[in-house]
Structure 1
Amino acid sequence: MKRVEDHNIYILHTYPFKETSLIVEALSENFGRISLLAKGARRPRSLLRGYLQPFQMIQATWSNVSDLKTLYNVEWNSKYLGLKNQALICGFYMNELIMKLLPKDESSNVFFNFYHQQLEELSLNVGYESLLRLFELKLLEELGYKVNLDEDENGNPINPKKFYYYEAEYGASLPDVSTNGVKIIGQTLIDMHNNDYSHLNTLKQSKLLMRYLMRFYTGHDLVKSKELFLTNDR
């Protein structure tokens, strides 16, 4: 397919290319994460310029003959979500994780739809922390790093009253087996498995666990947009 017509995408990030153009990193509905060259998009009168904003689904047309595809046309395809304050920071955090972790040109319609749903939930300004935990877990699952939350590393059901150590790529272990990773109560793992973040302790411990796992899988680099959330945690 040499040309893709009117395809749904979300802008993840843009950066300058030469004097007047932009490189556009985007998440597409059927082609996964892609890089697009928006020629002349930095010119004041460019028709592309106003469309290349994050958190707004657009329909795009581009050539598909190389790794860096050429963007030709864009049109609006959804209402403006208007993320603000913490919701906006959460959105940038999600985009940054996708940029760091999701390989290019690997199709995933399911993940695109999930991302779209998460943005709509963010726009409602409720449950930021639980939304981020769900997004982090879904992204790791998309990459093949499923976080097992209902069984320990030996396949035994998690005991809600016992403490475990959760280690990346191994899972939960009782203290007499391993003390590597993050110490966490079994109830938190069960709550995360059930997507239940109604308990304060679950919110706190799940944040510590996912911070550890995301640092592990991003190469121990602190995600920049997340720094604003960590300031009050230290």
Structure 2
Amino acid sequence: MLTPAYVLHSRPYRDSSALVDLLTLHQGVQRVVWRGARSARKGNAAQPFVPLLVGLGGRGELKTLQQAEIAGHYRLLQGDALFSGLYLNELLVRLLTPGDPQTLLFAAYQNSLQALAEAEPVEPLLRRFEWQLLAVLGYGFSLVEDAEGTRVDAQGYYHWQFEQGLVRLSGPVPPSALPGAALLAMAADDWRDAETLRTAKRLMRQALGVHLGERPLLSRQLFSVSNKESSRD
């Protein structure tokens, strides 16, 4: 039976094949041998962001791709949308447990790719996906209540602690503090204020960083390099 899938990452393997990490609807992340993926006849078929229907074979952790076909129309991502898509892919490869089906996250990923292709604002889109990913992993936390169960105060400031969530600050407010008003706006999916975007990015980096470890994200480095080169043009 064929299952919907997307290519998250691929690398050369032997002659014209590739080792490919797929996000599948029914089997979660799967690593497969894609024979002939890099051949001229197949036109480098193992491309990210292309909706696929795939058939997999094998019983071990490393599966064999038996069939793959494009499943509908798609748009190529460019510029910031491309780097954002690569970032989503890297998060999924790094954080999801292989073989664990995540149908809701698959739908969120699919919707995010469509939004990127339609040039929707990147920052809110990424923050929403990161938040959903944390929830799927079982590491979600409240944005409207602090660790003590008290309603977040729009006039207050907070910091985030692993396994606790938001903790209200008392005394001097450090630059890394999270404003309560921005946290509440984030919870309401209201991204009109630049402070909300800055706060959400800072919070998600902290919350995801615990699980990503010290190894940096390659997509983030590529995006930084691209921005520096663009600023010199």
TM-score, normalised via structure 2 length: 0.90
Of 111, 121, 125, which residue of structure 2 is paired with 1:117?
111
Equivalence for 2:38: 42
With 12-21 and 91-100 compared, the bigger mean Cα shift is at 12-21
Letter of the structure 1 residue corresponding to residue 26 of structure 2: N
Matches within 5 A, 1:134-153: 134-153=128-147
Which position in structure 2 is the counterpart of 1:22?
18
Distance 1:31 1:207, change over 3 A: same
- The whole-number CA distance in structure 1 between the counterparts of 2:218 and 2:22 is 19
Q: 1:92-127: per-residue Cα shift (whole Å, max 9, x none)?
A: 000000011011000111111111011101111121
Are the counterparts in 2 of residues 167 and 182 from structure 1 also a CA contact under 8 Å?
Answer: no
Find 2:77's aligned residue among 83, 95, 100. 83
Q: Is the 2:157–2:178 contact (alpha carbons within 8 Å) kept by the matching residues of 1?
A: yes
Query: Using the alignment, how far apart are the partners of 2:126 and 2:72 within structure 1?
Result: 23
Residue 80 of structure 1 aligns to a residue in which SS? coil
Equivalent-residue separation in structure 2 for 1:228 and 1:40 (angstroms)? 28
Give the alignment partner of residue 8 of structure 1, picking from 1, 4, 7.
4
Question: Which secondary structure state, in structure 2, belongs to the residue aligned with residue 51 of structure 1?
Answer: coil
Deviates most, 97-106 or 164-173? 164-173
Structure 2 counterpart of 1:218: 212
Distance in 2 (CA, whole Å) between partners of 1:53 and 1:181 is 41
What's the CA shift for 1:228?
A: 4.7
Structure 1 residue 126 corresponds to structure 2 residue 120: yes
| 1:124 aligned partner, one-letter code | E
Q: How many residues align?
A: 226
Q: Distance in 2 between matches of 1:229 and 1:52?
A: 22
TM-score (norm 1): 0.89
Q: Which residue of structure 1 aligns with residue 231 of structure 2?
A: none
Unaligned runs of 5+ in 2: 229-233
- Structure 1 residues 201 and 208: alpha-carbon distance in aligned structure 2, compared to 1, 3 A threshold: same
Cα distance in 2 for residues equivalent to 1:205 and 1:180 = 13
Of stretches 206-215 and 112-121 in structure 1, the one that deviates more from structure 2 is: 206-215
Percent identity of equivalent pairs: 30
> What do you get for the CA RMSD once the two structures are aligned?
2.2
Q: What's 2:150 paired with? A: 156
- Amino acid of the structure 2 residue aligned with 1:71: L
Contact 2:183 2:199 in 1 (8 A): no
What's the CA shift string for 1:40-75, capped at 9, x where partnerless? 323333x4x543110011111121422111112211
Matching residue's letter, 1:33: V
